Amino acid sequence: MSKEEQIGFHKGALSTLAKERIEMIKILQIVEQLMKIHLKALQDLGVDLTKEKSIEELTNEKK
């Protein structure tokens, strides 16, 4: 592979990865919004989350 081809390959890879990173950030923002909605719903139902296990502990139990 020539130097120009290698440069093109790496530039293309970086471009693709940058776009994928943007999409991943969008997904994470949606997840955060959904988590906030569920947390608020639990608070509205009178659930004191400070007395419950943390979300991280709950997700680690499933592994």
- How do residues 21-58 score in pLDDT, each as one tens digit? 999 999 999 999 999 999 999 999 999 888 777 767 77
Query: Between residues 52 and 6, which one has the greater pLDDT?
Result: 6
What pLDDT, on a 0 to 100 scale, did the predictor assign at position 62? 66
Structural tokens at position 1: 């592979």
Average pLDDT in the 1-9 region? Answer: 97
User: What would the DSSP string read from start to end of the chain?
Assistant: --HHHHHHHHHHHHHHHHHHHHHHHHHHHHHHHHHHHHHHHHHHTT--TTSSPPHHHHHHHT-
Task: Give CA separation, 26 vs 18, 49, 57, in Å.
Answer: 13, 27, 25
- Residue 38 in contact with residue 45, Cβ under 8 Å? no
